[in-house]
Structure 1
Amino acid sequence: MLSNYRRVFAVPHVLSLLTWSLVARFYMPGLMIAVTFLVEEWTGSYTFAGLVAGAFTLGMALVGPLRGRMADRGRSDRLVLVCGVVFSAGLLALALMPGALWWLAVPLALFSGVFGSPANQIVRALWPRLTFGAERNAIYAAEATTQELLFVFSPVLTAGVVAYAGPRWALALLSVLALAGAVGFALSLRRAGVSSPVPGQDASASSGTAPRRSLLRYPALCVLLLMSLLLVCGIVGVDLVVVAWANELDSPHYVMVLASVWALGSLVGGAVAGGLKGRPRLMRRSLATALGLSVLVPFMPPVVHLPTPLWITPLLFLSGVAIAPTVAAVMGRLGDVSPSNRRAEAFGWLASGMGVGSAAAGPMIGALIDGFGVAGGAAGAAVVASLAAALSVFVPASGTEAGSGSEPAPEGSVAGAARNVDTAREGA
């Protein structure tokens, strides 16, 4: 299994690009934690906190396909810098906002979210330009696995600052990290010489005279987009449940442990899945994810009041094991069913679908927590994840639906999904 990951270190510029892209999106997992604590402190409502947190991801979702085309046809380093500066300023403004004006946080979060980091989309579109064959397979597997490290360390850092300095300072820290990551990633793009579009790409994109059929008219793609929306809604819902549980106990430091253990399970699952042979079974993995979320419900208040939330950490670890493999299988299947010359656009839509799911999770799960407690929020997350698993039955197994010329998916789950991504962009 490790041989798949060693290859990445021999490719020039790959390590720098991978590292700085991770730094540029380091703020993402911790953002909901800081925003939830801050807005709940202002309003006493998780529903309002979810509205603000959801506005950030909704803003990112609105511009997914458009920003992908901008990166394809213009200077990606400039796009990263502009987004980094505006987004960091938005976070800083939210951190300084008086609590009495909390309602202004919703439009501010929506506007700031439009300028969320495009590093995830850009870096995954670069790997086909820098790597080939086995090296490309290795870098996609390594990127899919190391991304889970963000969900281990970002919540720890954010929750730690919330516990010892308050949510305003946590948002200020995330603002600084977002800006530093944007600058570092832009400089890394320039050093690698990949900040400009591929020669001839812009011309080829505009050479056709016939109007192109919208990707939303392909049934297989629409099912995958809806499935990813529901899947992410459930995953983000559990993040909000963990924050609410810790906040009710007036112990923000529990978020550091619970969120990190859950992400660690996903990290281990993704790493192991990357070394498995055979095509990933999307239906089985999505069912495993739904089951993992469902088993959490009976062990949360008000169903059961554990002496400490730390007792649920082994179950949280097992619950997270299927998440990264499931998301990787979704990406791989999208690469299968999308037209080979429009994968970037398809993955832009996937990023938007995931963003909408994340945005919807905030107010929906927040309302369930307000009305039925922490277990009610967990139950809602499990239900939407189960709906996503049900939709997986309707996803075709190969790329015969939406185009021709699709490269067959290689063996391996995370690694296989990575090679199917090819030039695609994904912002979740």
Structure 2
Amino acid sequence: MLRPYLLLAQVPHAFALLGACLLARLHQPAINLVLTFLIADWTGSYAAGGVVGGAITVGQAVAGPFRGRAADRSGPSKVLLITGCGYGLGLGLIALLARPGGWLPASWWWLLLPVAFATGLSFPPSGQVGRAMWVRIADGPARQAAFAVEATAQELLFVAAPILAAFAVAAQGAFAATLWCGAFGALGAAVFAATLRRAGLRAVPPEVADRGGASLLAAPGFGLLLGFGCLMIGGVITVDLLIVGWARERGTPELAGYLAAAWAIGSLVGGLLLGAAAGRPRVWLRGALAVAGIVALVPVLPPVAVPGSPWLVTAVLLVGGLAIAPMFAATNARLGELAPEGRRAEAFGWLASAGMVGSAIAAPATGALLDVSGPAAAAAMGAVLAAVAVCLVAHPSVRNSRPAPCAEETAAT
């Protein structure tokens, strides 16, 4: 079972690159939480905090493919350094403007929206650069293990980062926590850029860089895989939100943390176990397992089960979570195969943007269903989104398209 991970360990600079990439992304799961506290302290409105955080997310989604394209053309290190500086300065400006008793009156909070949007445009593309690099430096089982480890470690980030952010808010205040996020965003991007340079990954090899201006959406299977990412993220986000809604309605908001932890632990275990599985992973099969996990929530939640057992829901989340990290690892691996070499950072930028669209669609729909019909209906909607996503990747253009060659194979020919 450990053989793929041992192969990954033999890839030069693999673990240094993985650590630097994760450090560069540490701020990402924390920023919306920190900004919500910052804006709420300033204006007294959580809604305003959500709107400002949403402006950053919109900017990030709009710029994702373009940042990836720039990384493919001029090298990832340069793009990481430039965007890291812009992102850090943007968050610093937001913190100064939104500081209670600072430069702006609270009634002018809407002036932060263009600043937040520009900050999102400067979001360092650490995730998409990191995923693109695995296609360049690893192949076969080692590449599959790399994507599995990356997806599993991402789960750790989404558990640890909000906890660290909440601690920083409690200990030093939202103003300082926002500055910390900006500093980690800029410093992490710089460390990742330096690590890429040391590993000799400054730019895509000239013989394969920028294969032309044709849209990636025209590549066989690429658009369907983006649709999968959009809808599957929507399904997963639905589960995250209904957990919070159900716990709040029960009068036990702390339960949401335990339920989310069970979901994440299942994903961690599944990522480590299936990351070592032999053979090429099938996205549609792993997606179908994720659908089954979401469907299993429907009969154990209100109004189907009244009042609903926290222990039973925890068990379903723990088992259902086993498919999440493996599914995303397989998705990233397949996208890396479908995208032409020299355009892979751009391809992962498109996937990230598709996921944000899915989240934007699922969040309000989940809220409406929680208000009107209850968490079981929200889980059913999430299952439907995920099931449609699986139908997309079951198409032969996704399953049967030939992988693009890695850099070493191209150079050899």
TM-score (norm 1): 0.76
Q: CA RMSD in A?
A: 3.9
* Residue type of the alignment partner of 1:77: S
Aligned in 2, Cα 1:88/1:257: closer, same or farther, shift over 3 Å? Answer: farther
Instruction: Please list, as runs of the form range in 1=range in 2, the aligned pairs for 1:17-28 lying within 5 A after superposition.
Output: 17-28=17-28
Task: Give 1:220 shift.
Answer: 2.7
SS in 1 for 2:397: coil
1:340-386 Cα deviation digits (max 9, x unpaired): 66555433322321232234344443454455566665454334223
Kept in 1: contact 2:300–2:308 (CA 8 A): no
Q: Which runs of 5 or more structure 2 residues have no equivalent in the other structure? A: 101-105
Q: Which residue of 1 aligns with 2:103?
A: none
Please say which of residues 349-358 and 247-256 is displaced more in the overlay: 247-256
Q: How far apart, CA to CA, are the structure 2 residues paired with 1:293 and 1:154?
A: 25
Q: 1:5 is matched with which residue?
A: 5
Give 1:151's aligned amino acid. Answer: F
Give yes or no for contact 2:29–2:157 (8 Å, CA) kept in 1.
yes
Contact 2:221 2:398 in 1 (8 A): no
Which of the numbers 158, 163, 169 marks the counterpart of 1:156?
Answer: 163
Aligned length: 400
Aligned residues of 2:144 and 2:329 also touching (Cα < 8 A)? no
1:150-299 to 2 correspondence within 5 Å? 150-161=157-168, 170-202=177-209, 205=210, 212-218=213-219, 220-243=221-244, 254=255, 256-297=257-298, 299=300
Distance 1:329-1:12 versus aligned 2 partners, 3 A rule? closer
Structural mapping, 1:28-107, within 5 Å: 28-35=28-35, 42-43=44-45, 51-95=51-95, 97=98, 100-104=107-111, 106-107=113-114
Give CA-to-partner distance per residue, 1:94-151, whole Å, 9 cap, x none: 4552664454555444322222221122223333554466554543443333333212
For residues 30-78 of structure 1, the C-alpha deviation after alignment (integer angstroms, 9 at most, x for no partner) is: 3344455666784355xx7665444333322222222122112224223
Pick closer, same or farther for the CA change 1:192–1:387 going to 2, 3 Å.
same
- Equivalent pair of 1:265/1:318 in contact (CA under 8 Å): yes
Q: For residues 93-132 of structure 1, what are the structure 2 equivalents within 5 Å? A: 93-95=93-95, 97=98, 100-104=107-111, 106-131=113-138
What is the TM-score normalised by the length of structure 2? 0.78
SS at match of 1:322: helix
With over 3 angstroms needed to count, the CA separation of the structure-2 counterparts of 1:339 and 1:188, relative to structure 1, is closer
| TM-fit CA distance, 1:24 | 0.7
- Distance in 2 between the 1:303 and 1:252 partners? 21
Q: Residue 292 of structure 2 aligns to which amino acid in structure 1?
A: L
* Sequence identity percentage: 41
Distance in 2 of aligned mates of 1:169 and 1:382: 40
- Structure 2 partner of 1:334: 335
Cα distance in 1 between the residues matched to 2:325 and 2:290: 9
**Distance in 2 of aligned mates of 1:21 and 1:288:** 28
Per-residue displacement from partner, 1:232-258 (whole Å, max 9, x unpaired)?
Answer: 122233334445556678877555443
- Cα 1:64–1:182 change in 2 (3 A) is same
Q: Distance in 2 between matches of 1:341 and 1:258?
A: 41
